[in-house]
Each structure stands twice: as structure tokens, then as C-alpha cells.
Structure 1
């Protein structure tokens, strides 16, 4: 499964030990400033968006692209490794 993580989550990927569930997924970390955000979202199986990390305009753009491409979106206000792992576990089920 390919998951797009929208929000500045690179720190999480670098500093936390990823659980076995997360190692089975291809994760794309996006800050929301990418020019090709639409391509990343439309080719993902699921989007996890940290709403405290992205501007409203980016949030609307991601939701619009995900809706058109029938990509499920999990929106959370803040993030930790356990919350991210939980979102990916629910998406895979």
C-alpha cells in the first residue's frame, strides 16, 4: 500500500522507530509545498493529513484531488508514531 503523508512529517520518519505495520507501506512525506502534489495524492492508496501542519488552501486542494480519484483521507490535528500507525492500520483493513 502506498500512503501519502501530508504535513511536515519528515521529523517523524527520521526520529521514530517505525513499527512493523508501517514498514510494509510505501510512505511519501509531503509538506504541501510541492508543485506536483496532485500527482502524489492521485497515485496513493490513502492520504493521512496532519491538519495543524498544512495551510487551509493545501488542505482543500488535497481533499479535492482525493475526492476526484476516490482516495480515502484521514485527517488528524496532530501526529505521533502511534497515531500514524493506527491510521495506516485502519486504511489497510
Structure 2
């Protein structure tokens, strides 16, 4: 499974990727500061948005991209490692 994470903290980027890998998920991480996120997302099975760490415009862009391709989106307020772990376990069933 391939997932894309939008938002989160820069200092936890490596930990997000390692946590996902342990769950058998290939994770792409965008902290929300990048330009044109949807153009870099590529093919993904799940989009996770940490809403407390992403701009409104980035969230809107990602939601439009996901809707147009029927990709499920998980919007979560918290941005911790345990939150990511829980989200991945809920969506990998």
C-alpha cells in the first residue's frame, strides 16, 4: 500500500516514514510548505492530512486531487507518530 501524508512536523518526517514502513506502507510525506503538492503526489492509495499543521490552501488542493481520483482521505487533527500508526492500522484492513 502507498499512502501520502500532508502536514506534520519537519523534525518527525523520518519517523513518519519509518513507522509506515514497519506497517508495510510506502509513505510520501509533504509538510504542507511545498508548492503544488498534488503535482508531486503521484499514485497513492490513501491520503492522510494532519489538519493542525497544514495550510488551508494546501488542504484544499489535496482534497480536490483526491476527490478527482476517488482516493480515500483521512483528516486528523493531531500530528504524532502514534496517531499515524493508528490511522494506518485502521485503513490497511
TM-score normalised to structure 1 length: 0.81
Using the TM superposition, give the Cα deviation of residue 65 of structure 1 relative to its aligned residue in structure 2, in angstroms.
0.6
Query: In 2 relative to 1, CA 40–92 (structure 1 residues): closer, same or farther, beyond 3 Å?
Result: farther
Corresponding pairs, count: 91
Q: Which segment is superposed worse, 35-44 or 3-12?
A: 35-44
**Residue of structure 2 equivalent to 1:2:** 2
Residue ranges of structure 1 left out of the alignment (5+ in a row): none
Q: Give the Cα separation in 2 of the matches to 1:46 and 1:27.
A: 10
Contact 1:4 1:41 in 2 (8 A): yes
Is residue 11 of structure 1 aligned with residue 40 of structure 2? no
Q: Give the Cα separation in 1 of the matches to 2:61 and 2:76.
A: 16
3-state DSSP class of the match of 2:33?
Answer: coil
Larger fraction in helix: 2
TM-score normalised to structure 2 length: 0.81
**Residue of structure 2 equivalent to 1:83:** 83
**Residue of structure 1 equivalent to 2:52:** 52
Residue ranges of structure 2 left out of the alignment (5+ in a row): none
Runs of 4+ in 1 over 4 A off after TM superposition: none
